[in-house]
Amino acid sequence: MTRDELKAEMLRHLQYSFGKDPAHAQVRDWRMALSMAVRDRIVEPWFAATRATYSGQHKRVYYLSLEFLIGRLLEDAIVNLGLGQAAREACAALDLDFEAVMTDEPDAALGNGGLGRLAACFLDSLSTLSIPAHGYGIRYEHGLFKQSFHEGRQVEQAEDWLNQPHAWEFERAESSYEIGFWGEVEEKDGRAIWHPGDAVLARAYDTPVIGWQGRWANTLRLWGAKPTKLFDLARFNTGDFTAAAQPEEAARTISRVLYPDDTTDAGRELRLKQEYFFAAASIRDILRRYTSEYDDIRRLPHKVAIQLNDTHPAIAGPELVRILHDEHGLAFDEAVQIASATLNYTNHTLLPEALERWSEGLMRHLLPRHMRLIEQIDDWHARTTKGRTLSAIDQGSVKMGELSFMLANRVNGVSALHTGLMKKTVFAELDRLHPDRIVNQTNGVTPRRWLLACNPGLSGLVTETIGTGWEDDLERLGQLDPHVSDAGFRARFAAVKRANKAHLSDWIGREMGISVDPDAMFDVQIKRIHEYKRQLMNVLDVIATWHAMRGEPGLDWVPRVKIFGGKAAPGYQTAKEIIRLINDVATVVNSDPAIGDRLKVVYPPNYNVSMAERLIPAADLSEQISTAGKEASGTGNMKFALNGAPTIGTLDGANVEIRERVGAGNFFLFGLTAEEAMARREVPDHAGRAIAASPELAQAIAHLERGTFSPGEPDRYRHLAQILRHHDYFLVCSDFAAYHAKQRAVDAVFRDRDAWVAMAARNTARSGWFSSDRTIRSYAAEIWDVTPVEVGPGACVLAS
């Protein structure tokens, strides 16, 4: 598509789709016009992919996830269709600021963090690999909350992405399912019939997901909740307008917000309703599609593979059994066998508080038939495995991990270390009963978004050096390795990073009013705020460094910009204290004349996918410092390495595999191993001992206790200090000295700029394995038993 064709299409959409005169159009109108012009190019490959799947009777993959953190879609579509140049030129010809048009799009923040972003990368790779697939989730009206800081404290506001025009979805009013809740189960002629007490409608909204070079497109189908009866007219006519609208309100609540607060009973009930709502609608849709093509329901696993993204969709298992048994009339055991040959489950955490459990009482009340089936599935498992001591129902609650395991063909962890720990800990007994069921699938990230689109400077250099083709064959980055010893290549690599840093410095200056030196080391930790991720250890290191700089202002310190990004769960008080501490430390450090430009702390609010795309290409150092054994995998760690930022990190999650691949000499390792961490917790007063052994740590904690960063309120950080001293489960104190020392080793390498650049470039050259294309190929071969569809020349719609 040429510049002029795209421009003409934009003008056409502006006028005829949106009724706007170009003379009066705003950036938003142009963004919509461009989006529509681009979207039109997706529809054909989308139809072609659907037709090819039907005509070839290919097996389909269904990825059920309560989260899809897809971010902005316009740039993604432009990049995948190869329309970058045409779009830039068309905007220029229309006198539009291309960057402003692109950044006008709100982020679709339909997820919390890594789990949701992984689902989005997987969709991209499934389309790139032309594997017939659907993502299923919820069309939340409000995505993850907007974060701002008020006097350093996190403030949450409702997010409002749908309040702006959304270009990418197609509403499918004809694809609606009635989803029941509550009610009773009637036993009749040996069969169970569930009579729900209430119901809502699940309505489909489809977003096409275009793969690399527009060869294939799959569908992300998100469910919105609607009332079965729109409106109580009788009540309205009596003048009770609020009550008349009540059923509509109640139904819509189900798809209103992502992950509502589950600390109250009402919140928990809503969460379970969301889970059943989307799982049931998805199963119904999957079976409708299957039965429209095939007669024999027993062959379902030959044509359908369902992946449960953690346990949030786990109720899909009992729902599938219910439909096969109660509605299709299969014997119970056969129904369970078919369901468990179709379903697979990915585990993303071993943290006990994050393993889902639902109270039996709530489950029985909300989903009476399903609770009964869960009991039967539990009995069936005990019967068929002789694992009688093992149950998915424990002390009045249903353990969704165990239930998902029992009903799965394959269960996977998301890094080698995490999968190993799953086998040793939470699922030890189930692994013993089913030794082949657990497999590892190390996470990956899409190179289209996380290198090609977000880092045009580096991707340009890669292409100039090794040619194209790496975008969907990322291991080709290995061809860069020999170039790292070439001083000319290193100089160009360094120039790209410097330009990205200058760009970020401008943005930080504009957005936050903080001036940062682009020649300083940009040291970045971006992720959800959680004690196990140890942002607290990072900020303690900032305090220790600041203290040391003040003590010896004459020393030749390596200038650093410490960048933080991330949100805390609204109810997670300790995480919120850590946020406040980072902001308070920033206030003191950034205005300290004794420090000047040598240390800055920057914490831009409202970290999201788009902010990650801005920060990662400009990072020098990647902070991956979780307590070993606690981070299941990480995916940010991969994005940084790919963009030429070496890691300072522990042997945790996928850090282990990153280090193996980039080489131990290109990775700053410190800290206890997972095994050592477990042993250390048993040592009496481990924190006290570590504090006594590290004057830097003792000093940093003393600053917290003295109120150095909370003038006028010395007690503000007493609670954090108490945790460190007496309840240091995440071993911040035990790892601090090693971390602090390793940071000085980082300084030493950074001083030797050439050595640093070589290390950074080797990280890029050796990160090719962490493409989500590799991950998806592996799921396809080892879990789903699907193969990519050969895309014939007719179906292949390449952008010109």
Q: Does 647 bind ligand F58 (CB under 6 A)?
A: no
Q: Looking at 15-23, 334-342, 583-591, 629-637, which segment touches ligand F58 (CB under 6 A)?
A: 629-637
Of 125 and 635, the one with the shorter C-beta distance to ligand F58 is 635
Of 74 and 315, the one with the shorter C-beta distance to ligand F58 is 315
Please report which helix (H) or strand (E) contains residue 157, including its range: strand 153-157
The angle subtended at Cα 238 by Cα 236 and Cα 242, nearest 5°, is 45
Q: How far is CA 597 from CA 170, 192, 247, 564, in A?
A: 50, 72, 58, 17
Give the C-alpha separation, 642 to 443, whole Å. 14
Which DSSP symbol is given to 716? T
Residues 474-493 interacting with ligand F58 (rule: CB under 6 A): none
Is 117 tagged catalytic? no
Q: Does 558 bind ligand F58 (CB under 6 A)?
A: no
Of 154 and 545, the one with the shorter C-beta distance to ligand F58 is 154
Closest contact distance (angstroms) between CB of 628 and ligand F58 is: 13
Beta pairing, strands 198-210 & 217-227 = antiparallel
Q: Looking at 106-114, 149-157, 470-478, 539-547, which segment touches ligand F58 (CB under 6 A)?
A: 106-114
Q: How crowded is residue 661: how many other Cβ atoms within 10 Å of its Cβ?
A: 20
Bridge partners of 522? 561
Q: Looking at 43-51, 219-227, 362-370, 631-639, which segment touches ligand F58 (CB under 6 A)?
A: 631-639
Closest contact distance (angstroms) between CB of 429 and ligand F58 is: 24
Type of residue at 291: T
Are 619 and 518 in contact by the 8 Å Cβ rule? The answer is no
Of 637 and 708, the one with the shorter C-beta distance to ligand F58 is 637
Binding mask 441-460 for ligand F58 (x = CB under 6 A): --x-----------------
For 633, phi and psi rounded to 5 degrees?
A: -145, -65
Which DSSP symbol is given to 326? I
Contacting residue, 33, 109, 110, 115, with ligand F58 by CB under 6 A: 115
Q: How crowded is residue 187: how many other Cβ atoms within 10 Å of its Cβ?
A: 8
Could you report how far apart the first and last alpha carbons of the chain are, in Å?
A: 6
Of 560 and 567, the one with the shorter C-beta distance to ligand F58 is 567
Q: Collapsing DSSP states into helix, strand and coil, what is residue 419?
A: helix
Q: How far is CA 478 from CA 170, 451, 770, in A?
A: 41, 15, 12
Closest by alpha carbon to 325, among 373, 367, 384, 385? 373
E strand map for 321-462: 343-346, 357-359, 393-394, 397-399, 410-413, 438-440
What residues have CB less than 8 Å from 449, skipping those under 6 apart? 71, 76, 79, 121, 124, 613
Looking from the CA of 318 toward its CB, the CA atoms found within 13 Å total 25
Closest contact distance (angstroms) between CB of 631 and ligand F58 is: 5
Contacting residue, 35, 65, 80, 112, with ligand F58 by CB under 6 A: 112
Of 633 and 643, the one with the shorter C-beta distance to ligand F58 is 633
Please report which helix (H) or strand (E) contains residue 375, including its range: helix 368-385
Are 62 and 136 in contact by the 8 Å Cβ rule? The answer is yes
Q: Does 113 bind ligand F58 (CB under 6 A)?
A: yes
Closest contact distance (angstroms) between CB of 310 and ligand F58 is: 7
Of 45 and 116, the one with the shorter C-beta distance to ligand F58 is 116
Is 423 tagged catalytic? no
Q: Does 114 bind ligand F58 (CB under 6 A)?
A: yes
Closest contact distance (angstroms) between CB of 454 and ligand F58 is: 19
Closest contact distance (angstroms) between CB of 768 and ligand F58 is: 19
Give the C-alpha separation, 315 to 181, whole Å. 13
Is 238 tagged catalytic? no
Q: Which residue is nearest to ligand F58 (CB)?
A: 114
Contacting residue, 635, 694, 710, 763, with ligand F58 by CB under 6 A: 635
Closest contact distance (angstroms) between CB of 730 and ligand F58 is: 14
Q: Looking at 111-119, 212-220, 514-522, 769-777, which segment touches ligand F58 (CB under 6 A)?
A: 111-119
Binding mask 118-157 for ligand F58 (x = CB under 6 A): x---------------------------------------
Are 114 and 765 in contact by the 8 Å Cβ rule? The answer is no
Size of the site for ligand F58 (CB under 6 A): 17
Q: Does 634 bind ligand F58 (CB under 6 A)?
A: yes
Residues 378-437 interacting with ligand F58 (rule: CB under 6 A): 414
- Tell me which of 31, 348, 492, 530 is the catalytic residue: 348
Of 535 and 635, the one with the shorter C-beta distance to ligand F58 is 635
How far is residue 367 CA from its own chain's centroid? 29
Bridge partners of 526? 565
Give the C-alpha separation, 486 to 273, whole Å. 59
Of 106 and 111, the one with the shorter C-beta distance to ligand F58 is 111
Q: Looking at 107-115, 289-297, 673-681, 684-692, which segment touches ligand F58 (CB under 6 A)?
A: 107-115
Residues 561-620 interacting with ligand F58 (rule: CB under 6 A): none
Dihedral (Cα; 618, 621, 623, 629), 10-degree rounding: 120
What tokens were used for 301?
């696993």
What tokens were used for 485?
């010893």
Closest contact distance (angstroms) between CB of 421 and ligand F58 is: 12
Of 570 and 688, the one with the shorter C-beta distance to ligand F58 is 570
Are 511 and 563 in contact by the 8 Å Cβ rule? The answer is no
Is 348 tagged catalytic? yes
Closest contact distance (angstroms) between CB of 432 and ligand F58 is: 25
Q: Does 631 bind ligand F58 (CB under 6 A)?
A: yes
Helix (H), strand (E), coil (C) string for 530-547: CHHHCHHHHHHHHHHHHH
Of 368 and 636, the one with the shorter C-beta distance to ligand F58 is 636
- Tell me which of 533, 567, 598, 630 is the catalytic residue: 533
Which DSSP symbol is given to 627? P
Which DSSP symbol is given to 771? B
Binding mask 260-299 for ligand F58 (x = CB under 6 A): ----------------------------------------
Closest contact distance (angstroms) between CB of 355 and ligand F58 is: 11
Task: Kindly tell me the sign of the dihedral angle through the C-alpha atoms of 391, 393, 396, 400.
Answer: positive
Q: Does 348 bind ligand F58 (CB under 6 A)?
A: yes
Of 398 and 544, the one with the shorter C-beta distance to ligand F58 is 398
- Tell me which of 639, 659, 716, 766 is the catalytic residue: 639
- Coarse DSSP helix, strand, coil percentages of the chain, rounded to the nearest 5 percent: 55, 15, 30
Give the C-alpha separation, 624 to 653, whole Å. 10
- Tell me which of 142, 501, 527, 534 is the catalytic residue: 527
Contact residues for ligand F58, defined by CB under 6 A: 112-115, 118, 259, 348-349, 354, 414, 443, 631-635, 653
Catalytic residue annotation: 348, 527-528, 533, 635, 639
